[in-house]
């Protein structure tokens, strides 16, 4: 009986290892795409003026780190191109996070804004 249970557990473990590695590949590609989009949106002038932000984007560990760097990216873009263009660029980058971060983070309207528009 002991042999059968250990064989069963190793089979289950190998199943989960296979499914997790399949899921990592698309996310890794998405992280790379998001990094590239952020750096491209900042442009060469912003990345030379804000090297810390560029390094934080380049060495971010996961999608959540990149999500929270959007504010820094927007500030860098706004310093060169203005806030309106910065908002547009960051909005297009934010769309890349759909399905990669919790849905509550990518929500476009908050309950507060719904209440304000209802009045």
How far is it, in rounded angstroms, from Cα 58 to Cα 32?
9
> Is 4 inside a domain boundary?
no
12 domain residue, yes or no: no
Phi, psi of 33 (to 5 degrees): -65, -40
Confidence band for 21, pLDDT divided at 50, 70 and 90: very low
CA distance 74 to 83: 8
Burial class (CB within 10 angstroms; exposed 0-12, middle 13-18, buried 19+) of 46: buried
Determine which of 18-27, 70-79, 86-95 has the lowest per-residue pLDDT on average: 18-27
**Does the predicted model carry a pTM greater than 0.75?**
no
- The answer as to whether 17 is a domain residue is no
Residues of the chain with pLDDT > 90, as a percent, come to: 49
Domain assignment of residue 97, yes or no:
yes
| 113 pLDDT above the threshold of 60 | no
Choice between 91 and 20, residue whose per-residue pLDDT is larger:
91
Its domain, for residue 107, covers 33-118
Statement: residue 14 has pLDDT above 70: no
Whether 66 maps to a domain, the answer reads: yes
Domain count, the chain: 1
Report yes or no on 24 lying in a domain: no
Q: Which helix (H) or strand (E) holds 1?
A: none
Q: How many CB atoms lie within 10 A of CB 11?
A: 9
- Rounded Cα distance, 81 and 5, in Å: 63
The answer as to whether 40 is a domain residue is yes
Mean pLDDT for all residues in the chain: 78
């Amino acid at each position: 009986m002991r042999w059968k249970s250990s064989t069963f557990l190793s089979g289950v473990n190998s199943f989960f290892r296979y499914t997790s590695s399949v899921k990592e590949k698309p996310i890794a590609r998405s992280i790379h795409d998001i990094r590239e989009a952020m750096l491209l949106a900042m442009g060469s002038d912003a990345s030379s003026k804000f090297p810390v932000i560029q390094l934080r984007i380049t060495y971010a560990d996961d999608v959540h780190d990149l999500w929270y760097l959007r504010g820094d990216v927007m500030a860098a873009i706004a310093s060169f191109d203005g806030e309106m263009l910065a908002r547009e660029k960051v909005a297009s980058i934010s769309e890349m996070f759909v399905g990669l971060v919790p849905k509550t983070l990518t929500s476009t309207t908050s309950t507060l804004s719904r209440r304000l528009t209802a009045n």
